[in-house]
Structure 1
Amino acid sequence: MRTASVARKTAETDIAVELNLDGSGEYDIQTGIGFFDHMLEQLSRHGLIDLKIRCTGDLHIDAHHTVEDVALALGEAFSQALGDRKGITRYGSEYIPMDETLVRCALDLSNRPYLVWKVDFTQDRLGELDTEMFQHFFQSFAFKGGVSMNVAMIDGDNNHHIAEACFKALARALRKAVEIDPRKSDAIPSTKGAL
């Protein structure tokens, strides 16, 4: 089983993450931000990643540090669970329709982090979460997780649907990319011999 546990404590947040890449989508998530928990639950359920997250953050200021630090801890746990990335499919992509919304996520578990984000929101907030934090989450997760990622909204009007489709697209793309390739389970998926 590809698992990892990460603890991260700063003056702004205290976080514990437990992750199993070979899970069934079980989750137990408490960050203190309801909408953020809902998005992380989508990541777990649709990515078949078992996920336990506990975060106590400085929410009396705003959600920024909590979202950023959870993304960093989650990315670190993800990368640890992948290990040397031997045998993985490496690439994954998914289109997620959600009513009027369509979002695409394509990614490479290259260990060369990058994010292209082409998603627009027409509201400043969803629940108690600033919508600008979604890009920040994806960027922080990508950089700590060693993921090169392109996320694009193709259609969409409802901001809740747009955010949720982004997380579901990420989940399904990760699910494909972390799968062990039965034709090459003993090899690093790169001509370099390392990721």
Structure 2
Amino acid sequence: MRTASIDRNTKETEIAVEVNLDGTGQYEISTGIGFLDHMIEQFSRHSMIDISCRIKGDLHVDQHHTAEDSAIAIGQAILKALGDKGGIMRYGSAYSPMDETLSRVALDISGRPYFVWKAGFTQERLGEMDTELFEHWFHSIADAVGLTLHIELLYGKNNHHIAESIYKGFARAMRQAVEIDPRKGGAIPSTKGILGG
């Protein structure tokens, strides 16, 4: 089993994260931001990555540090669980429909973080979560894992559907990318012999 845990404590947040890349999509999420919990739960369920994420954050200031640090810690745990990345599929992509909304996510566990975001929201909050933080969450997890990550909203109107479509698409793409390819025999999926740099 490819598992990892991360404890990340700063003056802004205290975080404990555990992941199992070979899980069944079980989750235990508590960030203090209800809608963010819901999105990370969707990510876990549809990626089949088991995730435990418990955060005490400075929500009396705002949600920025909690949202950002949840992505960093989950990303660091995924990176740690990947080890040398031997045998992984490396690439993943998904079209993710949700009612009137359609999103496209493509990613490469390249070790070279690069982020493209072509999406937006027409309201400032979903539940109590600031919608501007979704872009920052994905940028932060891309940096932490070392993902080349492209996210595009093709169309959609309902803001809840847009967020959920993107998270589910990201989950399905990650599920593909972290899977072990039995034909690779544990080889690093790069002609360089390493991923990153």
Partner Cα distance (2:43, 2:186) in 1: 28
Residue identity (%)? 63
The aligned runs of 1:36-185 (5 Å cut-off) are 36-185=36-185
Partner Cα distance (1:103, 1:151) in 2: 8
Partner Cα distance (2:70, 2:174) in 1: 18
Counterpart residue number, 1:191? 191
Deviation at 1:185, TM superposition (A): 2.8
Partner Cα distance (1:185, 1:156) in 2: 41
Assess if the C-alpha contact under 8 Å between 1:105 and 1:170 holds in 2. yes
Q: Displaced runs of 4+ in structure 1, greater than 2 A?
A: none
Structure 1 unaligned spans of 5+: none
Deviations 1:9-28 (A, max 9, x none): 11110000000000000001
SS at match of 2:79: helix
The aligned runs of 1:26-45 (5 Å cut-off) are 26-45=26-45
Alignment root-mean-square deviation, CA: 0.5
Deviations 1:65-110 (A, max 9, x none): 0000111101100100001000000000000000000000000001
Assess if the C-alpha contact under 8 Å between 1:88 and 1:185 holds in 2. no
Letter in 2 for 1:184: K
Letter in 1 for 2:188: I
Q: TM-score, normalised by structure 1?
A: 0.99
